[in-house]
Amino acid sequence: MVFDTLESVGGYWSPLVWIIAVILAGLVAYILWGLGSKQQQGGEQGTPFLSGHPGPSKEEAHVRADNMYWGITKALQGYYTAMNRIHNGVINDYVLWFIGMAALFFILIVVPEVIL
């Protein structure tokens, strides 16, 4: 019973084979991780190589989320403006919206089934 296979249209699937494969892959990954260098020396070892040029400071290299998602926020500015008016940060309002939407979905799904 443990060695049974599940047959499907595309072939067979043996849960025991997949479990063994995942365990072996995890074991290989753990061994490779363990072979890595455990020494960390100071200095330039941990910094990226930039062909001899000094890299920018952390403040200059930091990309803010406003810059990263500028195109999305600009394209959806109308949506975000409307959502900012609705969302006020009060958890009671969010729970009320959740209960109201759940009731609406319940009505839309259950009532037509009862009527038919």
27-71 pLDDT, tens digit per residue, is 999 999 988 877 766 666 667 778 878 888 888 888 777 778 888
- What 3-state class would DSSP assign to 73? helix
Instruction: Tell me, yes or no, if the pTM score tops 0.75.
Output: no
- What pLDDT, on a 0 to 100 scale, did the predictor assign at position 18? 82
Q: Which two tokens stand for residue 40?
A: 């960390």
Cβ–Cβ < 8 Å for 16, 2: yes
Chain centroid to CA 20: 27
How many Cβ atoms sit within 10 Å of the Cβ of residue 14?
A: 14
Q: Which two tokens stand for residue 4?
A: 């049974």
**CA distances in angstroms from 90 to 1, 81, 87, listed in the order given:** 55, 18, 8
How many Cβ atoms sit within 10 Å of the Cβ of residue 89?
A: 6
- What pLDDT, on a 0 to 100 scale, did the predictor assign at position 60? 83
Altogether, the residues listed in the chain come to a count of 116
Q: Does residue 60 or residue 77 have the better pLDDT?
A: 77
